[in-house]
Structure 1
């Protein structure tokens, strides 16, 4: 990753190489068109500060996939508001999918996911506002060294919303809906400092309101003894279906709970996400089979739920700092 570029710049550099074409370029405003062979739609990128910007998506219909290793940033936060249409966002290994519809507000942050994890997005006539914040750049811009505690409090606030999960989705209240739609009124080719500051102020207000609202909604979710029983049931279902596990939504339905409580419960009871927990089980099961059977690596990868043996090997190396083949050789020499 280029240390001189913030996460937003890196993201759009990747998008331009694969999915988008620039049609307008100004210092604070860049317009993109979705490449015809991929789909349709427009994106307006508004750059208010290094590390602080938002994107207006207009009638986007296309799919994309990015490796986590391309966007591995601890302090990155995205706030996504759906104006119309639909977006399905998810992680390939985690099988954790979020469906965004009109009025939905979603928080997303990378939580040290495996480098081999793929971030997928499918947009169906989607229009929305996506706010991107690079925390490390904002620290340089808005926080001095003597205000390090403020940044720590900010991180705590975001963590209190996500609770170790990658996503958190709620219905936006009317006040945030109106503020989001206010962003559509600006002329983003700013001619003076005053208009730029007004837009920046509005965006900071939206971020503050959204985070406060997310915290308040998260506090409403409490686990009962019955919830805990369902979470243990979910754990057993995942282990029994290690090769073809259900999605988070399917698992929630099978256990008569909702995805928020399921993910919150796994974090509280197992200090992991449901598919983070399953990934651990897969790795240890794979290691056991490598050390105690003569099955080849491809068979073992398939048995523990990996259709691509190379992805199994990469995940195994990240977990145990040794490849499956090396693990087998070491075990034979013991």
Structure 2
């Protein structure tokens, strides 16, 4: 059976608070573990008023403390923003608090703009060291060796599962070379999906962590009782992507009846490319969409984004998706 998981951004909606967003993320995780979801990840983004997961390890702790079985992790930590040693300490702490439930997905992008990168006191050139940083982090999470003078406490010996995440061929090549599971961000950048998966699978080298390839595919799915309702609910996400194209920073907006009255043809085309890997509809429509995506990608796992304004409708969407995938 294909595993199902969730990507959570802790989005702040118009009229809501940042605390609401963080608590709704934990509530979703509580329901998700009862609906059979494998894991819930949060993503590191900075300087985005609608996203509350910048302090990623703290958000993971908040969610893990309110759940008991579902795996919780980063999807991902943007490693060029951090010292591998500090990440080993942070995630080692999480693993000791919530043993056997912590994942660590790693990305090479900064997850922010260049001005904010300067505020983080990071050099944009750090991204070039990503492969070496992954290996350094992996070493800090391994058991300490005799004579080792620098130990990540309490990270050493935890062997937290590492994932390589990306939306380009670089991540696929690195994940294959290191023998790590690979997640492709087709929920916002689907252009290289098929080529990246092919490279990952053909070049994969077994490792101590991973004996065979494991490909996770990000996908936007909005499920509702009818196709019309799902299309209506999806307009909140479509407006968010239109705002991203515009460079406008707005909270998640309530859905609207006519999305074409909101975006220009150019914005629609640009956002449409980013949202190209989306499935929107009732249970039957979503089932057909999932079947087609799995036939196309042969994914081992789907990481689902169901981004909408109404928290209750969002929970219902994830419930419908779980019922479809269980069947």
Q: TM-score range by the shorter chain?
A: under 0.3
TM-score norm. by structure 2 comes to 0.23
Greater strand fraction, Structure 1 or Structure 2? 1
Higher relative contact order structure (alpha carbons within 8 Å, sequence separation ≥ 6) = 2
Q: TM-score, normalised by structure 1?
A: 0.22
Q: Which is higher, the Rg of structure 1 or of structure 2?
A: 1
